[in-house]
Amino acid sequence: MQYRKDTKSGNSLSVLGLGCMRLPSDIKKAEALICAACEKGVNYFDTAYLYGKNEEVLGAALEKFALRDKVFIATKLPLALCRGPADFDRFFDKELDRLRTDRIDYYLMHMITDLGLWEKLCSWGIEEWIQKKKSEGKIRGIGFSFHGTRDEFLKVLDAYPWDFCQIQYNYYDENYQAGVTGLKRAAAKGIPVIVMEPLLGGKLSSGLPREGAALFGKLHDDWSPSKWGLLWLWNQEEVTVVLSGMNEMAQLSENTGTAESAFAGCLGGAEQEVFGRVRETFAASYKIRCTACSYCMPCPANVNIPGCFAAYNTSYAIGYITGLKAYMMNAGVISDKMSGPSLCAACGRCERHCPQNIPVIESLKAVRRRLEPFWFRLGISLVRTVLGKGRA
């Protein structure tokens, strides 16, 4: 494992962090993954109040295996749930409780989208609150995770003496949201940058179109698309930690193996040239910008929003029939509990929570048009009638 210096605190952080949002739901498997990550030198664990039972699972595992003092915990204030200043303590205390700890090493304002949101928090006294928590030793470093435009990122960055920040960044998103400009500005200010979505929720690994994977394979046939994606990030000295939502041992082994050679400047001109061409093939297939973060879930009408979008993108990246098969499964087309786009009641709840600003309602209509052609609907209605499962 390679380590990079957090220039603000002096901490030595593993270049690979465990993004706990995608931890396996099976507790034993999640514990095994957390322990294995520690054994392989990972010392940065990122979770959030909004990630279901994630904080509890991480906290319990760190306590059970006496790992708390060997790692840094990052978690987040759920701004989407805060209605006033009293909520800061309410959520924070609950997080300490869930994580079974007396301090948070890296505490983030979760999903800042623009300066206006930060200013609203300031009007509620967040700066004084942060100062108090820091002086009590309950918060060690304060930062923010960001989803918004580059210009807003730069404004937020300048609005407070942050200890670190977290941005969505990968070779496809080089100029999306904070992008490379935001990365370099933060680094120039001495603010460590934690990277999320390094492989776009797996789209840049398993979801890469065949032509893209072939372009990579032509130059280094022993490098997987994940390795390419991660090295692109670690090649940049401004990147401090890359969070990967690993949920299987094989992924952990592969990524920690890649992290051994995670040196700034490890890629040359030939590799950079390939990224340009892979980007083009990927752009042609990545029709809906969904990263499968599930912030929009659960949908009150039971639509499997990320599942429908994943199938739609797969139908372009891998092939129509593969996409259709994924759609049948993800949308529960012949199951007792359907979860397809036809159930959408257009309430708009999902759109308010989507960090990628996806027009979910319209996009679901596009999914339906592509993956539910007339002949398909007819066939499914017949199958459902025969199985006695009601109308599609």
Residues that bind ligand SF4 (CB under 6 A): 290-296, 299-301, 303, 305-306, 309, 344-350, 353-354, 356, 358, 360-361
Query: Which one, 256 or 291, has the nearer CB to ligand SF4?
Result: 291
Q: How many residues does the chain have?
A: 392
Query: Which one, 215 or 308, has the nearer CB to ligand SF4?
Result: 308
Query: Which one, 240 or 363, has the nearer CB to ligand SF4?
Result: 363
| DSSP summary character for residue 68 | G
Query: Which one, 106 or 312, has the nearer CB to ligand SF4?
Result: 312
C-beta of 51: minimal distance to ligand SF4 in Å?
13
C-beta of 354: minimal distance to ligand SF4 in Å?
3
Query: Which one, 15 or 354, has the nearer CB to ligand SF4?
Result: 354
| 242 bridge partner residues | 16, 195
C-beta of 345: minimal distance to ligand SF4 in Å?
4
Q: How far apart, in whole angstroms, are the C-alpha atoms of residue 166 and residue 243? A: 10
Query: Which one, 14 or 313, has the nearer CB to ligand SF4?
Result: 313
C-beta of 149: minimal distance to ligand SF4 in Å?
16
**Is 99 in contact with 61 (CB distance < 8 Å)?**
no
Q: How far lies 299's CA from each of 26, 296, 323, 368, in Å?
A: 23, 7, 22, 17
Decide: residue 265, CB within 10 A, 0-12 exposed, 13-18 middle, 19+ buried. exposed
C-beta of 67: minimal distance to ligand SF4 in Å?
30
Q: How far apart, in whole angstroms, are the C-alpha atoms of residue 318 and residue 100? A: 44
| Per-residue tokens: 266 | 């490890």
Closest C-alpha among 204, 219, 209, 159 to residue 186: 159
Angle separating helix axes 320-330 and 305-317, nearest 10 degrees: 170
C-beta of 156: minimal distance to ligand SF4 in Å?
21
